């Protein structure tokens, strides 16, 4: 089994941009809840006390929602495009997309906003699909840097865009609630592809729109 097949086996998607994964057998729900009980006991509490009896079930259900991106398919989301755009050939941009993700190092949340733009080449995609693309990659374990790259890669590859620009601004709770305990520190990551990388005026237009 080659590397790409191994990746697809794990996440159930044809889009594996930025992933380098070995196959994993997904535990049953009961096994996952047992693991949560073990962590509760390791933390020093009693998993059998009244307030914690249903916590394993709630945690597993929360994980289903927080990490639903492993079951999403970016290629499918970007597959339906519209060519009747009356010759439109300028920037398409979504501003302030909510980002709710978890870092792969501590599984701590990081929360912020994403700005995504692309230069179409004869076809555009539904605006909600771009927001959904961000959500798919956000609802996985990774670094902010990797997620930024994955979003840009998907748009560039599946829309044959002349250029792509992505900026994510997020606060990481692995910094604010543990370790250095620095609050109100945001991390900004960017990716510029195609004309957004070569045309500094266009790149500045994007950044000006982000600032607004």
DSSP 171-195: EEHHHHSSTT---S-EEEEEEEEEH
CB 129 within 8 A of CB 88: no
Q: Is 158 a catalytic residue?
A: no
Among candidate residues 144, 150, 158, 191, the one labeled active-site is: 144
Supply the pLDDT for residue 6. 33
3-class SS of residue 133: helix
**Catalytic residue check, 174:** yes
Angle subtended at Cα 69 by Cα 15 and Cα 110, rounded to the nearest 5 degrees = 120
Q: Is 144 a catalytic residue?
A: yes
H or E stretch at 156: helix 144-159
Average pLDDT over residues 81-107: 87
Under the banding of pLDDT at 50, 70 and 90, the label for residue 176 is low
Structure-model confidence comparison of residues 202 and 182, the more confident one: 202
Domains of the chain by range and CATH? 3-66 (1.10.286.10), 73-211 (3.30.1130.10)
């Amino acid at each position: 089994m080659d590397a790409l097949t191994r990746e697809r086996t794990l996440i159930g998607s044809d889009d594996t941009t930025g992933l380098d994964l070995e196959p994993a057998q997904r535990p049953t729900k009961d096994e996952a809840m047992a693991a949560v009980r073990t962590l509760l006991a390791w933390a020093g509490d009693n998993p059998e006390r009244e307030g914690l009896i249903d916590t394993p079930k709630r945690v597993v259900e929360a994980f289903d929602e927080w990490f639903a991106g492993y079951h999403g398919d970016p290629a499918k989301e970007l597959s339906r495009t519209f060519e009747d755009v009356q010759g439109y050939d300028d920037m398409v941009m979504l501003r302030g997309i909510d980002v709710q993700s978890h870092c792969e190092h501590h599984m701590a949340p990081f929360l912020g906003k994403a700005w995504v733009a692309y230069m179409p080449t004869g076809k555009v995609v539904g605006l909600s699909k771009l927001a959904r693309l961000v959500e798919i990659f956000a609802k996985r374990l990774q670094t902010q840097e990797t997620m930024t790259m994955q979003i840009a890669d998907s748009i560039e590859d599946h829309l044959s865009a002349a250029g792509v620009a992505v900026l994510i601004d997020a606060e990481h709770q692995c910094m604010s609630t543990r370790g250095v305990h620095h609050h109100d520190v945001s991390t900004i990551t960017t990716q510029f592809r195609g004309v957004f990388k070569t045309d500094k005026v266009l790149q500045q237009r994007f950044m000006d729109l982000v600032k607004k």
